Amino acid sequence: TMRSTTGCKKHDDLTIVAVCVFCAGLWETEAMSVTGVLGSDVTIKCSHSNAFSNVKYFCKGTCENEDVLISSRTNNNLYKKYSIKDEGNTFYVTISSLEEDDSGMYWCGIERIGLDTYSEVFLTVIKDICSISFFMDNISQHSLKLIFSFSQMLYLLVSNCLVVCRCVCERQNPD
């Protein structure tokens, strides 16, 4: 009895398309470090290609709906902690009255058909301008953390899953 290989072929084609879409989404992912002084405001520049009319947003955490801090879809309010200024392929997010808890990883996001694209932003809040030299001495530690970003780990996970799927497919159709 001969087995049909069309199911495996169709699976391989879909896998290739999924990998291409996934990699296109990761193409823009980059990390930057921003430093702000406690009690002051900081403005973060987020740039993406082909995003002129897309909705832009800024989030902390996993970027689910509840993690979105501000979006270009919402109205700006000068009295809120976050504001956004959309200039097409670039947008600016201002965080007002920085607190120590504001330090951490943020994401500049662009709504896309399919997968949204993101840029990582690592914000460090320092107590005063004199702390900047201490921060600059330790910048390499933050850079190393950013090298192995979430997107890269996700890419490795998907790559490994594709290898496993291919092995399973070849076992089912050993020709």
Q: Tell me the pLDDT tens digit for each residue of 44-88.
A: 999 988 888 999 999 998 888 778 999 998 766 655 899 999 999
Residue 23 has pLDDT above 50, yes or no: no
Q: What pLDDT shows up at residue 142?
A: 46
CATH number of this structure's domain 25-168, picked from the four choices 2.60.40.1480, 2.160.10.10, 2.60.40.10, 3.30.70.120: 2.60.40.10
- 96 vs 80: CA distance, rounded Å: 8
Residue 25 has pLDDT above 70, yes or no: no
Lowest mean pLDDT among 27-41, 71-85, 131-145: 131-145
More confident residue, 159 or 43: 43
More confident residue, 28 or 130: 130
Q: What pLDDT shows up at residue 141?
A: 45
What letters, b where the CB count within 10 A reaches 16 and e where it falls short, cover 30-53? Answer: ebeeebbeeeeebebebbbeebee
The mean pLDDT value for 157-172 works out to 67
Q: What pLDDT shows up at residue 24?
A: 44
Q: Does an H or E element contain 102, and which?
A: none
Residue 17 has pLDDT above 50, yes or no: no
Q: Is beta strand 56-60 parallel, antiparallel or unpaired with respect to 117-126?
A: unpaired
Domain ranges of the chain: 25-168
Q: How confident is the model at residue 170 (pLDDT cuts 50, 70, 90)?
A: confident
Q: What pLDDT shows up at residue 168?
A: 67
Is 136 strand, coil or helix? helix
Q: What pLDDT shows up at residue 11?
A: 54
Residue 151, both tokens: 């997107």
* Global pTM value: 0.59
- 108 vs 98: CA distance, rounded Å: 18
- 172 vs 163: CA distance, rounded Å: 14
